[in-house]
Each structure stands twice: as C-alpha cells, then as structure tokens.
Amino acid sequence: MEEIYIKARAKVNLNLEILGKREDNYHNLESIFQKVNLYDEIYIKKTETDDFKLNINVKELNTKENIIYKAYVKLKEQYKVINGIEVTVNKKIPMQAGMAGGSTDCAAFIIAMNKLFDLKLTKKEIDSLGKSLGADVVPCFYNKAVKAEGIGEMITSIDTHFKYYMVIIKPEMDCNTKEMYQKIDAKKDLKQLHTTENIIKALENNDVQLLANNLYNVFEEVIQEKEMMQHIKKELMKKGALQALMTGSGSCIYGIFEDKQSAKNAYLALKDRYQTYICTSYNVKKGEMF
C-alpha cells in the first residue's frame, strides 16, 4: 500500500457535564459523543524522502503546530518503518465550533498510518497515543455514539445504530475552549442536569423525542453571546427542530429533527442566512473504531 484515503468525521455532544477540575488542570467530564456524517477528507501518500509535507485548504492550519504533524512526529519516533509522507486535507468541518475538527483529523490520521505502514497497533496503544495528543482525540477514534468520562479517555460503547437527522449552524462567533473552561471554573452557582442515562436509553431504543428532551450542555450557562445562541436555537425550533443545543465548548448549534424531510426543509430555509450543514448521526455497523 502506497497511499490511503480516510474520512475524519465530526462529532456533536448530546450532553456535556463538567464534574470538576483536576490537579493536572484538566477537567473531568461526562458526555455522549455522537459522530455525524460531516467529515474532513484526508489523503496520505508515501514519498521517496524522509520528510513530512502537509497540504491543507485552510492556510492558517498548514504549519508544524498542526496536530497531524505532532502525531506524525510521535509515530516516527516510535516506529522506524515510517518514512516520508505527503498529507492532503480537504477541511469541511467548521473550526472553533465544538465539533472536534482537529481531534478527529488526528484520530483518523493515526488510524490511517497504522494501516499504511502496517504498524499493528493495539487498541490500547492507539488510545494511549491519542490521549498524549489531546483530550478529545480518544473518543474520536470511535465512529459511533460513545459515553466519554475522565478527560474524555474513558470510553463506554453504546449499543445503537440509530440514524437521526440534524441541521447544524456555525454562528459568526468563535469560542476559545480554554476561556470557556475558565468561565466554568469561575461560576460558583453552577447547577447541572444529569441526562446521560436517558440519552443512552433514547439511542438504544431509537427514540428521537426522548433524545431531544434530554439534550444538555453546561457551556450554554457561561457563553458570552447567550442572546445570539438562544436566537439561533429558536430559529431551528421554529423550522421544525424538536430541540436544539450548542455542541462542545461552542460555537456550533444543532437541531434534531423527526425525519429527513423536516431537516431538509429547515436547511433550505436557513442556509442563505447562516453557515448551515445538514447531516445524520453516524454509527458504524461493524466494530467500533474506524
């Protein structure tokens, strides 16, 4: 094998609770991560050189600060069989959006490199490498709904193949993850809903109404642009969403719809006013990882 192509799928959080700050300055969380059918495309090709070359359609990401380059360096240090590669990324997932665009690119890259160079990495080795690169990378290895705990590295698989429809809006605002966590730490009277078990039940029973009724994200409590967020949520619900929620630490907001036609109608009504996406949940049929 001389080259490989892989889809790096985005995620949304169906719920997100922050359970406290740790001594290492990370935060313990509890969240249901749902992969969706919106993805970046990654092409990796072996070269005759010993160098790394990155081509990406977002200029500011085309640097050695890119998480893909950091993953390459770690892999090359551990596995001498790895030589030069050229990586091309067609980025479609919006940035600073709470959809794990960087983390899922990193996860997909590691999976692809394992196949391209026949590294025979175990699941434990893949998880360990992902954790060393970023808190969101580990749940991004799983192309399905999972419960994530700890800093995101403790994964429980959910028995579901539920396909439901979403319309996602990227507002004209960006949310800095570090700053959003600082706001959580500063808020003294933070009360959180605990909806994980109901969401798992909804996913296992294909119950879209139960799922919609239990969407929750603690970061909605501290976002500065709360008025804009609430306006977009109301827009989605006026267009037929059963419920709407901000994903991750922001800023994308998604609505869940009862059926494909309802989602399509909402997308067509909103796409000229907002940066808008329509997609479905994604739960891989075979295995758990890519």
β pairing state of 146-150 and 154-157: antiparallel
272 catalytic residue (yes or no): no
- In angstroms, the CA 222 to CA 185 distance is 10
What are the backbone dihedrals phi and psi of residue 263, each rounded to the nearest 5 degrees, phi first?
-65, -40
Catalytic residue among 40, 105, 127, 136: 136
**CA distance linking residue 92 with residue 280, whole number of Å:** 15
Do 170 and 251 form a contact (C-beta atoms < 8 A)?
A: yes
Exposure string for 97-110, b = 16+ CB within 10 A, e = fewer: bbbbbbbbbbbbbb
Residue whose pair of structure tokens reads 């579901």 in the numeric block: 160
- 178 Cβ neighbours under 8 A, 6+ residues apart: none
239 is a catalytic site residue: no
Q: How far apart are CA 129 and CA 122, in angstroms?
A: 11
Backbone dihedral region of 57: left (phi > 0), alpha (psi from -120 to 50 degrees) or beta? alpha
Find all residues with CB under 8 Å of 239, minimum gap 6, and list them.
167, 255, 265, 266, 269, 270
DSSP state of 213: H
87 Ramachandran zone, left/alpha/beta (phi>0; psi -120 to 50): beta
69: left (phi over 0), alpha (psi -120 to 50) or beta: alpha
Residues designated catalytic: 11, 136
